[in-house]
Amino acid sequence: MYAHLQTENVRMWTPLQPQPAGDQLVLRQRYAYHSVKEDYRKRVTWIEGRPSVAMYEYAGTAPAVLPPHDNSRTSQAEHIRTMPEVIDRIRSAVETERRKPRDVYTHMTTQDASFYRPRDHKQVRNVAQTVNNEQVGSKCKNAADELQQLVGRVYMNIRL
């Protein structure tokens, strides 16, 4: 049941020795249903205590057209999430190159392919604001916030 991944020019799973007994393994499953199409389902199976290794199974056919985002007030176009690489590139341009959000947006929309562009200028401004807030440091507004942040830091250091 347990295996180890070896990568020497070829991905190969080799079984671990000794294998655990069957009564020691507890499998967990979680089911998810699509909000648009009920017959499109996802099942995730993992071994309890090892959630980093999981098997994903999809049943049915995915919907051809997705509905607009729930927060959309005006647009009826389907919602397509921005690729994480785009957000990372915006973040690096604002953080390391110290460019303004308008310059980053203009550069990315004129130079990049359509899949690697930010959705709009507001998305670039939001990422820039997040970067600036992280650089400023603490978001504490009062003594209670400072105490909560201190307790969180102590808890994280204990876990490590």
Comparing 120 with 158, which gets the higher pLDDT? 120
What pLDDT, on the 0 to 100 scale, is given for residue 138?
Answer: 58
In this predicted structure, the answer to whether residue 85 has a pLDDT above a threshold of 60 is: yes
What pLDDT, on the 0 to 100 scale, is given for residue 127?
Answer: 93
**Segment 136-146 mean pLDDT:** 71
Local confidence band at 116 (pLDDT 50, 70, 90 cut-offs): confident
Q: With 0-12 CB in 10 A as exposed, 13-18 as middle and 19+ as buried, what is 118?
A: buried
d(CA 25, CA 18): 14
In this predicted structure, the answer to whether residue 27 has a pLDDT above a threshold of 60 is: yes
In this predicted structure, the answer to whether residue 144 has a pLDDT above a threshold of 70 is: yes
* pTM (whole model) above 0.75: no
Strand-strand pairing, 50-59 and 41-47: antiparallel
Local confidence band at 160 (pLDDT 50, 70, 90 cut-offs): very low
What pLDDT, on the 0 to 100 scale, is given for residue 101?
Answer: 92
List, in sequence order, the alpha helices (H) in the chain: 84-95, 101-111, 121-136, 143-159
Task: Looking at mean pLDDT, say which of 85-89, 96-100, 130-134 comes out highest.
Answer: 85-89
**Segment 11-26 mean pLDDT:** 70
- pLDDT, the chain, mean: 80
